[in-house]
């Protein structure tokens, strides 16, 4: 009887912990970590952005790229398809000085093919971003 009670407790704990292990979301997650009190201009499609970022793999936390390490912000035009879709969508409406954490599913990242030998196929990505400047055309 004591063995059965112990087995039952073990099974219940296993079920609880197994259900707690979540599958990463298939949707873009945008977390605003810092927003300046004054925001007079927000990003929109067609703006040229200067942005600092650090990219990591959600599964391991391993860093695969960082503009901070290079000491130069990355520049691109928002909404022009110059970057992964997760960035084009996740950086809309940001203010200069704003910091965001983007958790990007493979469908909005590098998909099944991965990228550059550092990003495996079907990887969920995490980018910590800081908007340095908006150049409006």
Which residues does the annotation mark as catalytic? 53, 64-65, 84, 110, 127
Token pair 């949707």: residue:
27
Separation CA 78–CA 121 (nearest Å): 24
Q: Give me the residues paired with residue 75 across strands.
A: 50
CB atoms within 10 A of CB 7: 10
Cβ neighbourhood burial of 133 (10 Å; 0-12, 13-18, 19+): middle
Separation CA 34–CA 58 (nearest Å): 21
Q: What are phi and psi of 2, to 5 degrees?
A: -65, -40
């Amino acid at each position: 009887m004591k063995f059965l009670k112990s087995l039952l407790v073990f099974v219940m704990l296993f079920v609880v912990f197994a259900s707690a292990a979540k599958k990463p979301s298939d949707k873009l997650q945008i977390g605003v970590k810092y927003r300046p009190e004054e925001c007079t201009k927000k990003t929109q499609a067609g703006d040229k952005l200067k942005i600092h970022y650090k990219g990591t793999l959600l599964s391991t936390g391993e860093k695969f790229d960082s503009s901070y390490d290079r000491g130069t912000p990355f520049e691109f035009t928002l909404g022009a398809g110059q970057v992964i879709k997760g960035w084009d969508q996740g950086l809309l409406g940001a203010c200069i000085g704003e910091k965001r954490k983007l958790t990007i599913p493979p469908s909005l990242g590098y998909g099944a093919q991965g990228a550059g030998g550092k990003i495996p196929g079907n990887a969920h990505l995490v980018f910590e971003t800081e908007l340095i400047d908006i150049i409006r055309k």
